[in-house]
């Protein structure tokens, strides 16, 4: 599964992360998973679109089940101290 974002209404996509059999950790319970889009990639003038892309043609040994629920997008606000750095 690939997670990507677009700042140009879907004309181009930047991949945040790929999850596959080499980096997947099996869990029996759901838990939050955090991804970060670098702030220098974003503009306050453009909306951000997220997408999850699952390859339906993966090998049987890479077959994994994904559950995407309660998606939350947050923006951290910089303090004056952070801007001065």
Query: What are the structural domain ranges in the chain?
Result: 1-85
Q: How much of the chain, in percent, has pLDDT values that exceed 70?
A: 74
pLDDT at residue 81 greater than cutoff 90: no
Do 5 and 37 meet the contact criterion of CB atoms below 8 Å apart?
A: yes
Identify the band that residue 24 occupies on the pLDDT scale cut at 50, 70 and 90: confident
* Three-state DSSP class for residue 75: coil
Identify the band that residue 10 occupies on the pLDDT scale cut at 50, 70 and 90: very high
- Per-residue confidence (pLDDT) for residue 41, from 0 to 100: 79
Residue 64 CA to residue 25 CA, distance in Å, equals 10
Summary mean pLDDT of the chain:
76
Do 20 and 32 meet the contact criterion of CB atoms below 8 Å apart?
A: no
């Amino acid at each position: 599964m690939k997670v990507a974002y677009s700042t140009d209404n879907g004309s181009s996509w930047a991949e945040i992360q790929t999850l596959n059999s080499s980096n997947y950790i099996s869990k029996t319970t759901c838990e939050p998973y955090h991804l970060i889009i670098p702030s220098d990639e974003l503009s306050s003038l453009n909306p951000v679109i997220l997408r999850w892309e699952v390859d339906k043609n993966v090998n049987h040994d890479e077959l994994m089940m994904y559950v995407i629920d309660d998606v939350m997008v947050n923006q951290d606000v910089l303090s004056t101290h952070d801007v001065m750095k």
